[in-house]
């Protein structure tokens, strides 16, 4: 699983997910603790709205 910081921009996250063919990314806070997950569907819904 790929992890990103909780302050990663959405467009950067999308590029990372597409380049790595990842449909799921873990989110870490400033302490390095996993605080959640984001799916590719979540990112696309934020960019283009719900479909």
Structure tokens at 23: 């449909």
The DSSP bridge partners found for residue 25 are 2, 38
Task: Report pLDDT for 49.
Answer: 85
C-alpha to C-alpha distance for 4 and 15, rounded to whole angstroms = 12
* Residue 40's CATH number: 3.10.580.10
Task: Report pLDDT for 51.
Answer: 61
Q: Model's pTM, two decimal places?
A: 0.84
Give the model confidence (pLDDT) of 1-51 as tens digits.
Answer: 999 999 999 999 999 999 999 999 999 999 999 999 999 999 999 988 866
Residues of the domain holding 13:
2-48
**Number of structural domains, the chain?**
1
């Amino acid at each position: 699983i790929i992890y990103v910081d909780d302050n990663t921009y959405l467009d950067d996250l999308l590029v990372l997910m597409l380049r790595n063919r990842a449909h799921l990314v873990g989110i870490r806070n400033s302490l390095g603790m996993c605080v959640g997950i984001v799916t590719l569907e979540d990112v696309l819904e934020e960019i283009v709205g719900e479909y």
